[in-house]
Amino acid sequence: MELQGEKSFKTKTIANAALAIGKLPFDVATKSLEELAAVKVIGKSVAAKVREIVETGTMKELEALLAETPPGVVEIMSIKGLGPKKVLVIWKELGIENIGELFYACNENRLMEAKGFGLKTQEDIRKSIEFKMANSGRFLYAHVHGFAKGLLSGLREIAGTELISFTGAFRRKAEIVDGLDILIGAPVLEEVVSWIESSEDLQLVERKDDVLTAESGSGVKVYIRFCTAEAYFKELVLQTGSAEHLEELSSRVKEVPSVIASEEEYYRAAGLPFIEPELREGVFEFSLAEKNALPQLICYEDLKGTLHNHSTWSDGASSLEEMARFCRDEMKIEYLGICDHSKSAFYAKGLSEERVLAQHAEIDALNAKLSPFKIFKGIESDILFDGSLDYPVEILSQFDFIVASIHSVFKMSEEKATSRLIKAIENPYTTILGHPTGRLLLSRSGYPVDIPKVIDACAANGVVIEINANPLRLDIDWRWHQYAIEKGVMLSVNPDAHSVRGFNDIHYGIIAARKGGVAAENCLNALNLTEISAFFESRRAHENTHHTI
Ligand SMILES: [Zn+2]
Ligand SMILES: [Zn+2]
């Protein structure tokens, strides 16, 4: 009621009555309307509502309120510490309509500055959402990665062998995992049991044959399996691939020698080159392997720069100079593309036209100071509902490159979303399509998009597609990378960093790109400074031939 702006005395009456009813010495369902109306804390108007609930299981007024409130906002109300006033700010002022968006906003420090919030509230909300996610038993790869690394090194020490590895989805670096699988090629089950029992963060849940199941304090299930040293590499293959991968693999293997010294030998027995664990999903790896066309997968060191990042000019937490110096001095890369939010993103301090020009003056000054390091003038331009970009041509033409993304009005049919994206792709000023589906893993599915059509449009217009490296996004999904590559579309691994810390996300983007079979040559920001300058130059020539839009 408060969310929908009902008068406060009315809300209070209902809340007080609800509280009082819970304390009554009798069951309200057994009383008639008159009897209820006679009870002081209930009264006539509330008594009618109580009877309605008893008879129909709900209340028309409640249903009407719920119909006017997005279901995600109702779900947000269930978060500990969030009363209606705060939820109202989140919904109406920050434009957040579900838990996924709220989690994302916490991670981007967007809540901190909203009325009635502070760093502590933001942290509390972030934690309780993480807890809610963990309860579903599924985890983002990024959220278990640190724990997993520590666990494996502890186990390696106890097991006293190098024959130990992750297997399953975590070894395949799936974006979401529902637990950790570990294989140990040594008879050390008892030692591992006592190690788990003495551990503070792990609890032994089950012990069955040669499989131990444990659970971490944050709810991550860990499955530890044991085999002999001789069987280790064979088991490693069999416990790593997805069901689809293993089915295809077993149809190709005639006979595997009983003892093998590496996974390569197993694949050789199937007449195939070695297939990297990330690719063992049964999606496209066999068709490439049999043509001997498996790519040299991209790695972090291939990247020469980073595009699509934010600064304090919009909703970032680090200044432009801090961002640039971090790239130059810590990451040792050659360029930074800065893409603050455009003017429609009011909740993220999007840049007005005047502020765009002021930022460009700062970039020119920094470029003179930090040379040969270069900051490219970019913008993350909102794709408006009709598919147009957020500035007039005079401003659009001032940028070195433009990332075009959807940030508002997600409720669209597939047809509408696809045509909205394609209109933006056909805009001659668009360089990169940002987070193409708007999904937030584990919490928001994104708008429905005809992805092949969107990729085809990027191919026709020379537009690059982003692999947004934020571990909640990893958008465009790795399952589409090969299709993009086949069509000759470049991909760009973009951290979408909102602070210097945010650059770290680029590692998750690289993992996604590797799963998609991306090589350095398919990646825009693997181009060095000279090459990418030439690329942006050629796009500007493209703008000039299409400038009547
Ligand atoms: Zn964005
Ligand atoms: Zn962004």
Buried b (16+ CB within 10 A) or exposed e, 282-299: bbbbbebbeeeebbebbe
pLDDT digits (tens, 9 = 90+) for 437-465: 999 998 888 899 999 999 999 999 999 99
Q: Are 384 and 147 in contact (CB under 8 A)?
A: no
**What is the 307 CA–ligand 2 centroid distance (Å)?**
10
Instruction: Please tell me the predicted confidence (pLDDT) of residue 547.
Output: 55
**What is the 85 CA–ligand 2 centroid distance (Å)?**
28
Residues with CB under 5 A from ligand 1 (ion): 405
**What is the 403 CA–ligand 2 centroid distance (Å)?**
8
Strand partners for 340:
379
Question: At residue 310, does pLDDT exceed 80?
Answer: yes
Tell me the pLDDT band of 546, cut-offs 50, 70 and 90.
Answer: low
**What is the 434 CA–ligand 1 centroid distance (Å)?**
6
**What is the 490 CA–ligand 1 centroid distance (Å)?**
19
Average pLDDT over residues 110-135: 81
pLDDT-wise least confident of 14-23, 29-38, 190-199, 316-325:
14-23
Q: Which ligand is nearest to the CA of 405?
A: 1
Average pLDDT over residues 161-183: 97
**What is the 518 CA–ligand 2 centroid distance (Å)?**
22
Helix (H, G, I), strand (E, B) or coil at 360: helix
The pair of three-digit structure tokens given for residue 308, joined into one six-digit string: 């699509």
**What is the 75 CA–ligand 2 centroid distance (Å)?**
26
Question: At residue 508, does pLDDT exceed 90?
Answer: yes
Instruction: Please tell me the predicted confidence (pLDDT) of residue 151.
Output: 97
Of residues 112 and 300, more confidence is placed in 300
**What is the 209 CA–ligand 2 centroid distance (Å)?**
49
Of residues 131 and 169, more confidence is placed in 169
**What is the 196 CA–ligand 2 centroid distance (Å)?**
42
Residue 212, C-beta contacts closer than 8 angstroms, at least 6 positions apart: 189, 192, 193, 196, 204, 206, 223, 224, 225
Q: Which ligand is nearest to the CA of 310?
A: 2
Q: What is the distance between the alpha carbons of residues 363 and 365, in angstroms, rounded to a whole number?
A: 5
pLDDT above 70 covers what percent of the chain?
Answer: 99
**What is the 473 CA–ligand 1 centroid distance (Å)?**
10
**Domain covering 1-68 in this structure, CATH number:** 1.10.150
Instruction: Please tell me the predicted confidence (pLDDT) of residue 283.
Output: 96
Q: Do domains 1-68 and 136-239 have the same CATH topology?
A: no
Tell me the pLDDT band of 23, cut-offs 50, 70 and 90.
Answer: confident
Tell me the pLDDT band of 182, cut-offs 50, 70 and 90.
Answer: very high
Q: Are 381 and 390 in contact (CB under 8 A)?
A: yes
**What is the 369 CA–ligand 2 centroid distance (Å)?**
26
pLDDT-wise least confident of 31-45, 243-257, 331-345, 358-372:
31-45
**What is the 159 CA–ligand 2 centroid distance (Å)?**
44
Q: What is the distance between the alpha carbons of residues 79 and 74, in angstroms, rounded to a whole number?
A: 10
Question: At residue 175, does pLDDT exceed 90?
Answer: yes
Q: Are 98 and 444 in contact (CB under 8 A)?
A: yes
Q: Which ligand is nearest to the CA of 340?
A: 2
**What is the 446 CA–ligand 1 centroid distance (Å)?**
13
Question: At residue 223, does pLDDT exceed 90?
Answer: yes
**What is the 470 CA–ligand 2 centroid distance (Å)?**
10
Q: Are 150 and 222 in contact (CB under 8 A)?
A: no
**What is the 382 CA–ligand 1 centroid distance (Å)?**
8
Q: Are 182 and 222 in contact (CB under 8 A)?
A: yes
**What is the 408 CA–ligand 1 centroid distance (Å)?**
10
**What is the 202 CA–ligand 2 centroid distance (Å)?**
37
Instruction: Please tell me the predicted confidence (pLDDT) of residue 299.
Output: 98
Q: Which ligand is nearest to the CA of 407?
A: 1
Question: At residue 467, does pLDDT exceed 60?
Answer: yes
Average pLDDT over residues 124-138: 81
For the chain, what is the mean pLDDT? 92
**What is the 440 CA–ligand 1 centroid distance (Å)?**
12
Superfamily (CATH) of domain 136-239: Beta Polymerase, domain 2 (3.30.460.10)
Q: Which ligand is nearest to the CA of 339?
A: 2
**What is the 337 CA–ligand 2 centroid distance (Å)?**
11
- Domains of the chain, by residue range, sit at 1-68, 70-135, 136-239, 241-291, 300-516+525-545
Average pLDDT over residues 373-384: 97
**What is the 89 CA–ligand 1 centroid distance (Å)?**
21
Instruction: Please tell me the predicted confidence (pLDDT) of residue 64.
Output: 84
Task: Could you please state the CATH topology (level 3) that the domain comprising 70-135 is classified under.
Answer: DNA polymerase; domain 1 (1.10.150)
Task: Could you please state the CATH topology (level 3) that the domain comprising 300-516+525-545 is classified under.
Answer: TIM Barrel (3.20.20)
pLDDT-wise least confident of 289-298, 307-316, 339-348:
339-348
The pair of three-digit structure tokens given for residue 504, joined into one six-digit string: 């770290």
**What is the 314 CA–ligand 2 centroid distance (Å)?**
10
CA 189 to chain centre: 36
**What is the 126 CA–ligand 1 centroid distance (Å)?**
20
Q: Which ligand is nearest to the CA of 308?
A: 2
Q: What is the distance between the alpha carbons of residues 347 and 514, in angstroms, rounded to a whole number?
A: 34
**What is the 313 CA–ligand 2 centroid distance (Å)?**
12
Q: Which ligand is nearest to the CA of 378?
A: 2
**What is the 310 CA–ligand 2 centroid distance (Å)?**
6
**What is the 418 CA–ligand 2 centroid distance (Å)?**
20
Residue 147, C-beta contacts closer than 8 angstroms, at least 6 positions apart: 216, 218, 220
Question: At residue 549, does pLDDT exceed 70?
Answer: no
**What is the 265 CA–ligand 2 centroid distance (Å)?**
44
pLDDT digits (tens, 9 = 90+) for 248-283: 999 999 888 888 999 999 999 999 999 999 999 999
**What is the 309 CA–ligand 2 centroid distance (Å)?**
6
**What is the 405 CA–ligand 1 centroid distance (Å)?**
6
**What is the 110 CA–ligand 1 centroid distance (Å)?**
13
Instruction: Please tell me the predicted confidence (pLDDT) of residue 210.
Output: 84
279: which DSSP letter?
G
Based on the number of CB atoms within 10 Å of its own CB, is 30 exposed (0-12), middle (13-18) or buried (19 or more)?
exposed
**What is the 261 CA–ligand 1 centroid distance (Å)?**
47
Q: Are 216 and 147 in contact (CB under 8 A)?
A: yes
Instruction: Please tell me the predicted confidence (pLDDT) of residue 53.
Output: 84
**What is the 407 CA–ligand 1 centroid distance (Å)?**
6
Average pLDDT over residues 14-26: 78
